[in-house]
Structure 1
Amino acid sequence: MRPLHISAETAIKLSEKLGVPIEQIMHMPQHILIQKLSELEKEKKE
């Protein structure tokens, strides 16, 4: 599996928001990352 094509700054921001190490963000499948971000948005709205 290829690493995600995101910038270092984006990876750092995502790791802070999701509470996940940067290495895990870079090797996370894209659909799982999108799912986690949508869950974060739902929690933010409530």
Structure 2
Amino acid sequence: MNKEIEKLANNYKEIINKTSDLSLKQNDGDIRKARKWLKEQLFYT
């Protein structure tokens, strides 16, 4: 059970990192624009 939870946690962490990288790439590395873009993608689409 703990191995499964650890595996899921690692997958979740990896997905968050990939999403953050994509957001920064879409906004030329500007963290404020990236956060705004990510919120728009998550909540308005």
By the TM > 0.5 criterion, same fold?
A: no
TM-score of the pair, normalised by structure 2: 0.41
Question: Which protein, 1 or 2, shows the higher relative CO under an 8 Å CA cutoff with sep ≥ 6?
Answer: 1
TM-score between both structures, scaled by the size of structure 1: 0.40
